[in-house]
Chains A and B, each alone.
Chain A
Amino acid sequence: MELIVAIGIGVLTTCGVFLLLRPRTFQVIIGLCLLSYAVNLFIFGMGRLRLDAAPVLDGGSADISHYTDPVPQALVLTAIVIGFAMTALFLVVLLAARGLTGTDHVDGREH
C-alpha cells in the first residue's frame, strides 16, 4: 500500500510540476490542481498509513494504538478547502487575463 501511495504522489507531483512550467494559463491551473492533490495525499501519508483505524475516539477502546492520527486528517481538510478557494481565485485572474490580453499565454503575449 505504501508503495502505491508513494507512486501516486510521485506521478501527481511530476505531472503537476510539468504542467506548471507550461506556457498556457489553463495548463498552469491544472498543474496547480494536481500539485495540490499530491500535497494533500502527502500530508495524509505523514500521519502514517493505517487500515481499519478510526481517527476519532469512540469510547470503545482506550488504547491509543487502535486509532489513527487525527491531526493530519484535519490538516488535509483545511488544505483542501484553502486549495480549492485559491484555485477558484486563480481561475478568475486567468479569465481576466484572457479577456484583457486576448491570449492564454502566461506572459500575455505570444512569442
Chain B
Amino acid sequence: MGGLLDHLVILPIVLPMAAGAIMLFFDDRLRTAKAIINFGATALLVVFAVLLVIKAAGVDATTGATATYPLGNWPVPFGIVLVADRLAAMMVLLTAVLGICALVYSLARWHAAGPSFHSLFQFLLMGLNGAFLTGDLFNLFVFFEVMLAASYGLALHGTGLTRVKAGLHYVAVNLAASSLFLIGAALIYGVAGTLNMADLAARVPLIAASDRGLLEAGAAILGVAFLVKAGMWPLGFWLPTTYAAASAPVAALFAIMTKVGVYAVLRLSLLIFGEGSGASAGFGHDFLLYGGMATIAFGAVGVLASQSTARLAGYCVLVSSGTLLAATAFGNVGVTAGALFYLVSSTLAISAFFLLVELLERIRIEGADVLAVTMEAYGEEDEEMDEVEDVGVVIPGALAVLSISFGICVLLLAGLPPLSGFLAKFTMLSAMLNPDGLIEAGAVVASTWWLIGLLIFSGFAALIALTRTGINTFWMTMSDRPAPVRVIEIAPVLVLLGLCIAMSVMAGPVMGYMDEAAAALHMPAGYIADVLNAPLVVEVVSP
C-alpha cells in the first residue's frame, strides 16, 4: 500500500490537470518550456495508460475485478467512484496515443498560432480521460464540460473567420446539449435516487411501473445529449464544418471526442438497459439502429459530395460514429467486440488522415479542392501535354512517404483488406450474420441486411472519394519542388498508421482483449458487483 501505482486509476486525470495548471503560470514567450512540459506529461500519460490497460487486462473476464478508485475515499454509493475496466482503459490509451501524436505534429508550427495551446491541450486530455474513467453520471457531466471548455478554446486556436464562425455554432450546439444532459441526469436521479452508474443499474429493475416512463424519458434525453456529441444524423450537422475548420492537430485530437459520445451510449445502454434490467431491457436500441444507419448514409453521401479534403475527413468521422451506434444497438457480444476493434482502428485512421490532409494541401495547386468534385462533370481535357520533357524528375522522398501514407489511409477508411479497417468490418458483419455463433444458423432480420448494405456502401463511397482526392493530389498537381514536409510532421502520421498495421498483424491478441471487454459489457452484473463492493484505497483508521 502507499505506492503511486495504488492511485493508477486517477493518474490519467490528475497528471494532465497538474501539467495544464503549471503551464498557465508560464508566459507564452516561454513556449519551448511549455512544449517540453506538455510533451513530458503526455508521454507519461501514455505510460500510465499502458499500465492501466495491463492492469485491466490482467483481471479475469468472468469474475470481473474491475479496477476502482473511490474519490476522497468515500464508500461507493455515496461518493464518486472512478472505474477502469477494459473498455475505459482502452479508451484512455487511445486518447493518450492520439494526444502524443497530435502534440508532436503541433510542435512543428501550430502550437505557436495562439495563446495557451499547451494548457488547453492538457485540459482536453483531462476531460477525455475523466469522461472515460468516471463511474458517476453527474461527474460524467463535469468531465464533459471540462473537455468541451478546452475544446472550445482549441477549436478557435489559430483564429480566423472560418474558425470563429464554425466555433460559434459548435459552442451553441454543445451548450444546448449540456442543458439536455442535466435534464436527463436530474430526471434519472429524481426517479432512481442515485447517480452512481452501477448503483443505478442495480436499481433499474426494481423501479415501479408507474415511474418507468419518467426513467426512460430521462434516459432518452440523456441519450440525445450524447448523440449530439457522437454526431448522429439529425444532430450532427455541426460536426464536419467544425472539424474542417479546426487546425490539423486539434482536428486529429477531436477525432476521439465523438467517440466519447459513442462510449457513453455504449456503456450506459448496456449497463442500465442491458440484460437483467427488467421491463426496460433493450430500451432505445431500435432508435440507435435506425439513427446509426441514417448517420452512415448521410456520412457516405457527404464523403462523396465533399469539395474539400478536410470536410471529407469530417464526414468519415460521421460514418465511423454511425457504424458504432448501429453496432451498439445489436446487443450482441460478437458485434460489440468487432465494433470496439473498429472504434480503435477508425479513430487512429481518421486522426492520421486529419494530420495528412494538411500536408496534402501544401503540395496541391490552388483550387484543386473545388475542382476535385466538379472536374469530371466538366470533362476537362489535359491540355498540358507539352510538359512531357520532365521525364527525368525523380519522385522526392517526402512525396513518396506522403503518398504511401495516403494509400494506407484509404485502405483503412474504406475497410479494404489486408488492414485493420477490413478486419474490423469483417468481424462485425460476420457476427451480424451469425448472431448465435458460427455453428448455429441464426435468423437475420431485414434491418440487418440494410445495415450490412450500408456498411459496404459507405466503404465504397470512401474508396471512390479518396481515390479521386488521391488522383487529383498526387498525379495532377505534381510540382518540381520537393514536398515541404518536416520529419516531426510526418512521423506522427506514420506512428498512427503503423499502429493500425500493428493491429492488423497482432489482430489475435487485440481481438482477444476486445472480446473480453465486450463480454464484460454484456454481463454488467460483474461490473455492478465490483463497483458497489469497491474497496477503499487506504483503510481509514477509526478514532
Contact = CB atoms under 8 A, between A and B. Distances in A.
A100 B159 CA distance: 10
A75 interface: yes
A87 B149 CA distance: 11
Interface in A5-36: 20, 25, 28, 32, 35-36
Given A46-B189, A85-B149, A78 B142 contact: yes
Contact of A86 (B145, B159, B190): B145
Given A39-B183, A89-B152, A97-B164, A46 B145 contact: no
A54 B266 CA distance: 38
A48 B160 CA distance: 48
A35 B171 CA distance: 15
Contacts of A57: none
B182 to A, nearest CB: 5
B176 to A, nearest CB: 6
B149 A46 contact: no
A82 interface: yes
A53 interface: no
Contacts of A101: 161, 164-165
Contact of B171 (A75, A85, A90): A90
Contacts of A85: 149
Interface string A27-69: 0100010011011001101111000000000000000000000
B237 interface: no
Contacts of A20: 172, 176
Q: Which of B149, B167, B171, B179 has the most CB of A within 10 A?
A: B179
A21 B168 CA distance: 14
A82 to B, nearest CB: 5
Nearest to B156: A93
Interface residues of B, number: 29
A97 B168 contact: yes
A90 B172 contact: yes
Nearest to A86: B175
Contacts of A71: 189, 195
B172 A35 contact: no
Interface string A78-111: 1100110111011001101100110000111000
A75 B186 contact: yes
Given A93-B152, A106-B168, A82 B142 contact: yes
Given A43-B182, A43-B186, A46-B186, A86 B165 contact: no
Nearest to A85: B149
Contact of B172 (A28, A82, A96): A28
B156 A96 contact: yes
A72 B195 CA distance: 10
Contacts of B168: 25, 93-94, 97, 106, 108
29 contacts: A20-B176, A32-B172, A32-B176, A32-B179, A35-B179, A39-B179, A39-B186, A42-B183, A43-B182, A46-B186, A48-B190, A71-B189, A71-B195, A75-B138, A75-B189, A85-B149, A86-B171, A86-B178, A87-B175, A89-B149, A89-B152, A93-B168, A97-B168, A100-B160, A100-B161, A100-B164, A100-B165, A101-B164, A108-B165
- Please give me the 5 A-B residue pairs with the lowest Cβ-Cβ distance, nearest first: A46-B190, A43-B186, A46-B186, A108-B165, A39-B182
Given A75-B189, A101-B161, 12 more contacts: A32-B172, A42-B186, A43-B182, A71-B195, A72-B186, A75-B138, A82-B145, A85-B149, A90-B171, A93-B164, A97-B168, A108-B164
